[in-house]
Amino acid sequence: MTDLIKIAVDAMGGDNSPNKIIEGIILNHKLNKNIFYKIFGDQNKINNLINNKISKDYFEIIHTVDVVKSTDSPLEGAKRGKNTSMWLAVNSVKKKEADIVVSAGNTGALLVISKLNLKMIENIDKPALSALWPNKKGMSVVLDLGANIECSSKNLLDFSIMGASLYTSLYPNEKPNVGLLNIGSEEIKGNEIIKETYQILNDKTSANYNFSGYIEGNHLMDGNINVIVSDGFTGNVALKTAEGTANFITGELKKAMTGSLIGKISSLLNISNLNKFKKRLDPRLYNGAIFIGLRLTSCKKSRWY
């Protein structure tokens, strides 16, 4: 059992927890037998939910009743102390008892607690929340998606470097194109911080990525830009707006497809194509985001530069 990947799970964070979290673990366990779950939260509730669906060889519960609430400010969340399910889960990575930590809870608190427990990669000031986003040609990396509401040009430069590294680790044979999310493609568009970042990235040559200038929201899914860089406020609004638009369209589509008898018959004929289509867009397949920029131990020379 020592070869199992150890995932620390904050069972008490997120909507409808711990139910949804434990359901997720049970589902994941069905698909992957190489994972050991260290589950942090209310032992009784968790045991009832697991209900013997996972063998004891694959999980342990670390009991705690303290939780970070979704309404806590980041600092309030951290101040709830070292016995919250979130803190204990993050801390287990620090103590090398887990390889990864997963939480669906308060993002701001997770950021603060992670920064208090773990170290930053050298020369990186803030970790960024990053995720994969589908486009016409494949996937792109988008960051920051909400960890840092206000960002300096140095932060945006860091995000470019980290995003490119993440992309390259996923697609080793490609040199990624990095774009800055903005409201126009001309150099003069945007606020001062974005223009400053443009200058820095444009003057810098990197062996690891190409800087492609600005990218507007309507081109996010064209697939020409592999790494999309933004402050956390704008990135979060963009991500959620895309999600809302996708839900709206698929809802309207269903109405249109079943609006008449012919529609209903042809929908039946078309069901396999539509399922393929839905799979391609399903936000559940891409919805997880990772904090990039944190590391367990400090290192003399960062490999990101």
Contact residues toward a copy of itself (CB under 8 A) are: 70-71, 73, 134-136, 146, 149-150, 181, 183, 186, 188, 190-191, 216-222, 232-234, 236-253, 255-257, 259-260, 262-263, 265-267, 269-270, 272-274, 276-277, 280-281
Nearer to a copy of itself, 151 or 290 (CB): 151
As measured in angstroms, the least distance from the Cβ of 237 to a copy of itself is: 5
Question: CA 28, 11, 44 angle in degrees (round to 5)?
Answer: 105
Helix (H, G, I), strand (E, B) or coil at 260: coil
Nearer to a copy of itself, 88 or 215 (CB): 215
Nearer to a copy of itself, 48 or 73 (CB): 73
Q: What is the DSSP string of 69-90?
A: -TTS-HHHHHHT-TTBHHHHHH
Nearer to a copy of itself, 118 or 142 (CB): 142
Nearer to a copy of itself, 136 or 301 (CB): 136
As measured in angstroms, the least distance from the Cβ of 255 to a copy of itself is: 8
As measured in angstroms, the least distance from the Cβ of 129 to a copy of itself is: 11
Q: How far is CA 298 from CA 71, 100, 169, 250, 254, in A?
A: 32, 17, 20, 46, 52
As measured in angstroms, the least distance from the Cβ of 215 to a copy of itself is: 10
Distance of alpha carbon 110 from alpha carbon 197, whole angstroms = 27
As measured in angstroms, the least distance from the Cβ of 238 to a copy of itself is: 5
Which amino acid makes up residue 152? S
Distance of alpha carbon 250 from alpha carbon 222, whole angstroms = 20
CA atoms within 13 A on the CB side of 282: 9
Nearer to a copy of itself, 98 or 180 (CB): 180
As measured in angstroms, the least distance from the Cβ of 272 to a copy of itself is: 8
Helix (H, G, I), strand (E, B) or coil at 146: coil
Distance of alpha carbon 8 from alpha carbon 94, whole angstroms = 11
Nearer to a copy of itself, 91 or 230 (CB): 230
Nearer to a copy of itself, 174 or 222 (CB): 222
What are the structure tokens assigned to 215, written together? 């990218």
Distance of alpha carbon 107 from alpha carbon 112, whole angstroms = 9
As measured in angstroms, the least distance from the Cβ of 16 to a copy of itself is: 16
Looking at the chain, which runs of residues are DSSP E strands?
5-10, 35-41, 59-63, 100-103, 119-120, 128-134, 139-143, 177-181, 210-215, 227-229, 290-292, 294-295
Q: CB count, 10 Å around CB of 277? A: 13
As measured in angstroms, the least distance from the Cβ of 254 to a copy of itself is: 10
